[in-house]
Structure 1
C-alpha cells in the first residue's frame, strides 16, 4: 500500500496530562439529558472529553478536519477514517480536579483488503491515570479506507425511515440525535472531523448520505441507556464494535439484555433493523 514501512510506528508512545474537568462532565450530562454534578465522578467514558487528537494548530489539520497523519500517528495512505471500536476496562473512578495522564501506545497496524478495497487498522492502547492511580485502559481501533468518488450532491439522501422497536430485549430506549446533538458532542470533544458538521463535504466528498453520527457518541448513548436502566450497576468492562454508520436525525434503538449473570449484550440498531454498534458490558462483582 505504501513505500513507508508503517510497522516502524508500532510501539511508539506519547503521554499527555490534563486536569479532569467537572464543567465538561456536566455538559456531557446535559447532552445525555441528566442533571450534572461538577463534583461527581466522570461518566465512565468521560476521558474522551480530554486529550483531543485534533487539538493542534490549524496548519496541522488535514483536509478532513482531523490532525494530519505522519507525526505520532502513522502516515497511512488512505484518506477516510472511522472509529471502529473500543475495549475499555474501568479500574477506578476519575474525579473532577484530579490530574489525569494518558499514555498512548500504538499496539498494532494491520493492512487488509476488504469488499470496499484496501483497509488499515491501527490499534491504540490508552492508559489513563488519575492522581497516579490507574483509572481506565482503553483499547481503541481506528480503520482507514480509500476515498469514494461522489459526484456533487449525488450521495445526499433524507434520513432513513423509522422502524419498530425490536423485540426480544430486556429494555429498549429510542433516541434521535440531531444537528445540535452532533455539534455539541464535537465541541465537547474538540473533534473537528468534517463528516460530523460539514454537509457539502460529507455528501459530495466522502459520499455519505448525511452528517455522520459520531461512533463514540452512539457508544456513550448506549452505555448511558444501560446505566439508566441499571442504576446500581458498577461497570467494569465495556467493549463495542462499530458495524455500520448512523446519520443525523435517524432514530436509533438502544437495546440490551443479560446473557449471563453480570454480563449484558447491548446494541444500537439503525433504521431497518441493522446493527450499527454491538457491545458487551461486564459488571463488577
Structure 2
C-alpha cells in the first residue's frame, strides 16, 4: 500500500458555461479572428471548469493548497514544485459557444520515482468534459511534483547557444514570440495563479527558471492552432503532448508540424534548437 492510495479513484465534478465572450477573449489572445459558426476550436476546454479556490486558500506558488481532508481532490504531496508534464486527449465532439458543459475528474494513479532530478511524484488524472450532446473531450493529464530548487541551483533552461533551429525536416513552420501579455492573458483565461508565469522574481529566484515560464497547455494550444491554420478548426481526433524543457516568455518559439496520412507529428523548439515540446495527433480525414 502506498501512502497516497486513499486518493486513487477520488473524483471531482465541475460545471461551466462556454461563454461566447470567453471564446472571443481566447481568440484575441491567439490573435485570431472570430469564428464562422458556434463550434469552439480545440484547446479552449482548458479555460473551462477551472478551480475556484479562494485567494486565501492558495499556496506560496499560487496553486490551491492541498491537505489530507476528504475534500482535497489532489494528494498533499510535500514537494513544492508542480509541473504539467503531459496530456493525452481524445476529441469526441466539438464544444459549442453558449452551451453548458460538465467535467468529471478522477485520480487514476500516483507513483513515486527518484533519480537525477531528485524525488518526483507523478499524478495521473482523467478529465471527461461533456457538452449538451454528450462526451466531448477525454483527457488523461500527468502532473509531476518536484523538490524545491536550492538557492544556488543553475537557472533552467540554460542560456541560448549559438546553434540555429533547423526547419528542413518539417513541412509546416511558424514562429511566435510568447510575450508577457500573452502569458498574463492565458493565466487569466484559465484562472491559473501559478507564479512562474507572471512573477519574474519568484520564477527566477525561488524556482530557478531563467525567466517567466510559458504554460505547457499554452504551448500545446499554439500547436493545436497550427493544425487549425492548416486544416481548419476541430481537425484532430486525438492529440498527445509531452513537455521536454521550459519555454521562456519573450523568447522566439518555433512551432512545426508534419503529416503522413492521418498521423501528425508536432514540435515546439527554442530558437537555438532546444526541444520544448513533442506532440502527436490523429487527423480526421
TM-score with structure 2 setting the length? 0.92
CA distance in 2, matches of 1:89, 1:133: 14
1:160-196 Cα shifts (integer Å, max 9, x gaps): 3783452111111011111111011111111100000
Alpha carbons of 1:37 and 1:93: their partners in 2 closer, same or farther (altered >3 Å)? same
What is the number of equivalent residue pairs in this alignment? 280
Match of 1:68 among 38, 41, 65: 65
CA distance in 2, matches of 1:215, 1:248: 12
CA distance in 2, matches of 1:197, 1:125: 28
CA distance in 2, matches of 1:212, 1:6: 29
Question: Match for residue 59 of structure 1?
Answer: 56
Equivalences for residues 188-207 of structure 1 within 5 A: 188-207=189-208
CA distance in 2, matches of 1:226, 1:119: 33
CA distance in 2, matches of 1:30, 1:233: 18
Larger CA deviation: 42-51 vs 116-125: 42-51
SS in 2 for 1:36: coil
- 2:258 paired with 1:257: yes
CA distance in 1, matches of 2:257, 2:239: 13
TM-score with structure 1 setting the length? 0.92
Equivalences for residues 1-285 of structure 1 within 5 A: 5-37=3-35, 40-53=38-51, 55-70=52-67, 71-131=72-132, 133-151=134-152, 155=155, 160=160, 163-231=164-232, 234-258=235-259, 260-285=260-285
Shift of 1:15: 0.6
Q: Contact 2:165–2:270 (CA<8 Å) still a contact in 1?
A: no
1:15-45 Cα shifts (integer Å, max 9, x gaps): 1111112211111111111112395211211
Alpha carbons of 1:170 and 1:12: their partners in 2 closer, same or farther (altered >3 Å)? same
Alpha carbons of 1:99 and 1:227: their partners in 2 closer, same or farther (altered >3 Å)? same
Shift of 1:227: 1.6
Q: Contact 1:25–1:38 (CA<8 Å) still a contact in 2?
A: no
CA distance in 2, matches of 1:23, 1:39: 14
| Consecutive unaligned residues in structure 2, runs of 5 or more | none
Larger CA deviation: 267-276 vs 30-39: 30-39
RMSD after superposition:
2.2
1:85-142 Cα shifts (integer Å, max 9, x gaps): 1101011111112110000000010100131100111010000110251111011111
Shift of 1:64: 0.2
